[in-house]
Structure 1
Amino acid sequence: MTTTIPTKAPLNSPARVITASLVGTTIEFYDFYVYATAAVLVFPQLFFPVGNDTTALLASFAVFGAAMVARPIGAIVFGHLGDRRGRKTTLVISLLTMGVATFVIGLLPTYNNVGVLAPVLLLLLRLTQGFAIGGEWSGAALVATENAPAGKRAWYGTFPQLGAPLGFIIANGLFLVINFTLPHPTDPLLKSEAFLTWGWRIPFLFSSVMVIIGLWVRLKLVESEAFTMAERKGAIRKLPLSATFRHHTREVVLGTFIMLATYVLFYLMTSFTLTYGTKAQDANPGGLGISYTHFVLMQILGVVFFGFFTLLSGPLADAIGRRRLLIWVTAVIIVFGVSFPIWLTVRPDAMFTGAMTQAFLVLGFTLMGMTFGPMGAILPELFPTNVRYTGSAIAYNVSSILGAALAPIIAVALWARAGGSTWLVGVYLAAAGVLTLISLILSHETKDTDYSAVSVDDELAALVEDEAASAGI
């Protein structure tokens, strides 16, 4: 049962809301991408030297995926804090946790220094990263959408989403500069000794500078009026997790699978394509044989389209509805997955292969922007104010296990099984798209959802109604 509590105009200015939601997620995604890039470039050699390149890469991706397992735990903890204590405090704690974990990774000894303790420490810090980001995204999305003007929630919700492409560009751009400054003397496909010794640590240590900036911005936030009114009326739940699953299990399940194709597409376009694109053609399994520098530049160009279409998706979702837009985009993602071998086939003409790969990256990241942008609105809109942080965080982060945690591992395994072909990887993406499409069809449009509604039981509903009547509301 729900009751509607009128809200006043947001206390935070639009500039403050946009900056706080954008800066924080940019830092969080930067930290995550720094690890994702290192998982391909250096961690297989420095932390998992098992003697087999594919096995080492799978071990590195397994630790990468382990963070996704920790994300639902972070969603529960930070969701509880966010729905009980407010969005602002929770966002500050999650940002600090993520920043400290990333900084310490930059100080870790390698396998040659301390043996098996090195990958164990890396795993623990990776789990800490996952725990922190489990609470970051939902808080940023709520800060943006709960302070949005009427009719512009999806538009405001795209700004925390924009942190993903910005974080990617900053993280990979920094790796690119370091790799360019410390080139391998004979082979551009290899990393130099200086890069493997200390160069890879710089992006992790640089995280501390970005965290300080993010904290300064977020500490200036004022709690959203939607939350403070729910708190004032006694609608805050003691156990938001229990209330979420008691009354909103269907929304959690639907939200999880609505996000699935987005996660699979994203990690295929970033981690897997970096692996496949830079792997030598005569390796087993073989890749495209493009140098790391060139391929990252190609990815960054694609991510520019990711950012542009993330912003474009907001006004579209506000105009035609989140569900309708996502149904069409998901259908195109399914077709895109089936067409993988057309784009990612090694051909004798290197120029043609490069052009097709660039077109593939642009199209894939364009679809990523169109599907990722509306998620900042649709997932929070599935839940009422007093369980919104918990519900959206659980849906978002459980989906990370099904999509992001498994995507790089499954993709590498399917790539190896197909003897270097990517057709099975494309089928995997298409299958995820089908599950998302079914979930969207089973869901309802959230465009006109009353964002001031709170979930309450009958006794609390009567109390709220009596208090509202006494106050003349």
Structure 2
Amino acid sequence: MTNQSTLVAPGVDTAKHEYRTQRAKKAAIAGFLGGALEYYDFFVYATAASLVFSHIFFPAGNPTVALIASFATFGVAYIARPFGALLFGHLGDKIGRKNTLVMTLVLMGGATFLIGLLPDFNTVGYWAPVLLVVMRLLQGLSAGGETAGAAALAMEESPVGRRAFFPSFTMSGISAGIVLASLVFLPVAAMNEADRLAWGWRIPFLLSAVVLVVAFVVRRSLEEPEVFTEAAEQLEKNVQHEKPKMPFMQMFSTHPAQFFQVAMMSFETVTNIFMQAFGLAFAVSVGIPAQTMLIISIVGNVIAIGSQPLMALFADRYGRRRIFIAGVLGSGTLIWVYFWAISTAQIGLIFVVSTLITAGTYSMSNAIYPAWFAELFNVRVRYTGMAIGLQVGILAAGFTPLLATALVGDDPSNWGPAAWIVAGSSVIAVVGALWARETYRTPINELGNPMENELRTNA
């Protein structure tokens, strides 16, 4: 068995290794930019849902009810994400990673830009929230296929011993997207309320077009991973009938355990969703300025841009499972301190704990999952398996801010339910990690379950 912890394994041609490294770098850059766009869009929406949408897209009334409705529009994207995973996973495993990822990129960027042009409730009445939901659903469809595809492509392009490192730049791109969104929203949050609600909130959405253009140019220049093209060619030679039309059926029949493992481990994302959406709204409700929380988020995510590749290097050297579990347990523990600090308005403690989670414990698990989840599946169903498994788990996570808002209500001292939701999600993720196979030393052609028997069955 090939030792994946070394930079260049014995017997590997140096020139070929360098060629693969260059391709991996290009895939990592594309993943970084795609992740930046996806989470720029995600965090701009989460911030607007926390600070703006409850005032302009819904009728006047109880502010808590309006905020719950605003978070509901945030959550509907998570209903669409599994369908996006199904659609783009199918395309990614059938026609290839590159073209599919271009489609997800354009859909996400286009929907975000259009949100910035939507009329408000005073202009078109209930059509305003309807149109907002439609755009949010399109964002969800795109997100359902983006991270899985970028991770699968980067992992498949990575050289020996760096299969976690290069895909981790997709997660660093996500941190960069959060930083960009926070920086753009800082002057918006500092505006007087009238200007912010009238036109200021639209600026961050319209600026997404800049990230979209840059990411599109880079992604169009990618090539298909060799392991994918080789598998496609082999399938053409060995199977004398039409290619299977539904890769997700193949995935469920050949990798059922891996699907549930990924779904369970994806609950680690609840921590980030809570901090970026519910945490901001909760802090504002206790009198902490939104600008303060945005600055805290910026600092943590700037550090995370560098800390996540570092955590991935550790995973390439010491394995996926132990670092993932340590990170999830750390986040599930520190979240109690985080919410207590917010409820008591201790700004210094909020800053320290938020940074420890964002750039520390959450980075430990978040940097590893792009490679580990992809490695659990055979190349022929990798995009589908990772995308659907990831999004089924994230679907539950998307509605947790709404649930927490309903449970906590307007009592700042009643933050316990929010912390329990994060802690419970962490336990689910740990169970999935304990169940999953350790893959960091497994050669790329041996990843996932064999599918030769399935081929003969369909032939």
TM-score for both structures, normalised by structure 2: 0.90
**Residue 134 of structure 2 corresponds to residue 128 of structure 1:** no
Deviation at 1:204, TM superposition (A): 1.0
Q: Residues 242, 333 of structure 1: CA spacing in aligned structure 2 closer, same or farther, 3 A cutoff? A: same
User: Is contact 2:72–2:402 with CA below 8 Å preserved after alignment?
Assistant: yes
Q: Match for 1:214: what amino acid? A: A
CA-based RMSD = 2.2
Q: Residues 342, 99 of structure 1: CA spacing in aligned structure 2 closer, same or farther, 3 A cutoff? A: closer
Tell me the alpha carbon deviations over residues 146-189 of structure 1, each in whole angstroms, 9 at most, x when there is no partner. 11010100111211111111000101110113344xx22xxxxx
Q: Residues 251, 463 of structure 1: CA spacing in aligned structure 2 closer, same or farther, 3 A cutoff? A: closer
**C-alpha distance in structure 1 between counterparts of 2:433 and 2:30, whole Å:** 30
Tell me the alpha carbon deviations over residues 111-141 of structure 1, each in whole angstroms, 9 at most, x when there is no partner. 0000000000000110000001111111110
Partner SS, residue 409 of structure 2: helix
Q: Residues 307, 422 of structure 1: CA spacing in aligned structure 2 closer, same or farther, 3 A cutoff? A: farther
**C-alpha distance in structure 2 between counterparts of 1:207 and 1:344, whole Å:** 30
Partner of 2:433: 440
The correspondence of residues 313-332 of structure 1 with structure 2, limited to 5 A, is 313-332=311-330
Partner of 2:3: none
Deviation at 1:339, TM superposition (A): 4.0
Partner of 1:458: 453
**C-alpha distance in structure 2 between counterparts of 1:310 and 1:443, whole Å:** 21
Q: Match for 2:106: what amino acid? A: L
Q: Match for 1:274: what amino acid? A: L
- Match among 95, 112, 116 for residue 106 of structure 1: 116
Q: Match for 2:264: what amino acid? A: F
Partner of 1:274: 280
Tell me the alpha carbon deviations over residues 390-420 of structure 1, each in whole angstroms, 9 at most, x when there is no partner. 00001111111111x1221122123228654
Partner of 1:471: none
Q: Match for 2:429: what amino acid? A: T
**C-alpha distance in structure 2 between counterparts of 1:177 and 1:459, whole Å:** 56
User: Is contact 1:48–1:56 with CA below 8 Å preserved after alignment?
Assistant: yes
User: Is contact 1:151–1:318 with CA below 8 Å preserved after alignment?
Assistant: yes
**C-alpha distance in structure 1 between counterparts of 2:335 and 2:147, whole Å:** 27
- Match among 259, 264, 270 for residue 264 of structure 1: 270
- Match among 106, 120, 124 for residue 96 of structure 1: 106
User: Is contact 1:99–1:211 with CA below 8 Å preserved after alignment?
Assistant: yes
**Residue 257 of structure 2 corresponds to residue 247 of structure 1:** no
- Match among 162, 166, 169 for residue 179 of structure 2: 169
User: Is contact 2:251–2:381 with CA below 8 Å preserved after alignment?
Assistant: yes
Partner of 2:424: 431
Tell me the alpha carbon deviations over residues 272-294 of structure 1, each in whole angstroms, 9 at most, x when there is no partner. 11111122xxxxxxx2x111222
Partner of 1:210: 211
**Residue 32 of structure 2 corresponds to residue 22 of structure 1:** yes
**C-alpha distance in structure 2 between counterparts of 1:247 and 1:220, whole Å:** 33
Q: Match for 1:223: what amino acid? A: E
Question: Percent identity among equivalent residues?
Answer: 35
Tell me the alpha carbon deviations over residues 183-217 of structure 1, each in whole angstroms, 9 at most, x when there is no partner. 22xxxxxx2x1221111111111112211111110
User: Is contact 2:151–2:371 with CA below 8 Å preserved after alignment?
Assistant: yes
User: Is contact 1:307–1:369 with CA below 8 Å preserved after alignment?
Assistant: no
The correspondence of residues 11-160 of structure 1 with structure 2, limited to 5 A, is 13-160=23-170
Q: Residues 51, 459 of structure 1: CA spacing in aligned structure 2 closer, same or farther, 3 A cutoff? A: closer
Partner of 2:7: none
Deviates more, 1:408-417 or 1:432-441: 408-417
Q: Match for 2:203: what amino acid? A: I
Q: Match for 1:456: what amino acid? A: M
Deviation at 1:340, TM superposition (A): 4.6
Tell me the alpha carbon deviations over residues 69-91 of structure 1, each in whole angstroms, 9 at most, x when there is no partner. 10010000000000000000000
Tell me the alpha carbon deviations over residues 360-396 of structure 1, each in whole angstroms, 9 at most, x when there is no partner. 2112212221111001111101101000000000111
User: Is contact 1:61–1:409 with CA below 8 Å preserved after alignment?
Assistant: yes
The correspondence of residues 303-322 of structure 1 with structure 2, limited to 5 A, is 303-322=301-320
User: Is contact 2:155–2:166 with CA below 8 Å preserved after alignment?
Assistant: yes
Q: Residues 227, 275 of structure 1: CA spacing in aligned structure 2 closer, same or farther, 3 A cutoff? A: same
**C-alpha distance in structure 2 between counterparts of 1:460 and 1:16, whole Å:** 33
User: Is contact 1:269–1:364 with CA below 8 Å preserved after alignment?
Assistant: no
Partner of 1:388: 382
**C-alpha distance in structure 2 between counterparts of 1:334 and 1:458, whole Å:** 41
The correspondence of residues 193-232 of structure 1 with structure 2, limited to 5 A, is 193-232=194-233
**C-alpha distance in structure 1 between counterparts of 2:128 and 2:340, whole Å:** 41
**C-alpha distance in structure 2 between counterparts of 1:448 and 1:412, whole Å:** 43
Q: Residues 361, 109 of structure 1: CA spacing in aligned structure 2 closer, same or farther, 3 A cutoff? A: same
Q: Residues 343, 57 of structure 1: CA spacing in aligned structure 2 closer, same or farther, 3 A cutoff? A: same
The correspondence of residues 333-372 of structure 1 with structure 2, limited to 5 A, is 333-340=331-338, 342-346=340-344, 353-365=346-358, 366-372=360-366
User: Is contact 1:383–1:392 with CA below 8 Å preserved after alignment?
Assistant: yes
Structure 1 unaligned runs (5+)?
A: 1-5, 185-190, 280-286, 348-352, 465-473
User: Is contact 1:336–1:430 with CA below 8 Å preserved after alignment?
Assistant: no
Structure 2 unaligned runs (5+)?
A: 1-11, 237-242
**C-alpha distance in structure 2 between counterparts of 1:384 and 1:459, whole Å:** 12
Tell me the alpha carbon deviations over residues 97-122 of structure 1, each in whole angstroms, 9 at most, x when there is no partner. 11111111111000000000000000
Deviates more, 1:98-107 or 1:412-421: 412-421
Q: Residues 320, 195 of structure 1: CA spacing in aligned structure 2 closer, same or farther, 3 A cutoff? A: same
Partner of 1:3: none
Q: Residues 171, 417 of structure 1: CA spacing in aligned structure 2 closer, same or farther, 3 A cutoff? A: closer
Partner of 1:407: 400
Partner SS, residue 313 of structure 1: helix
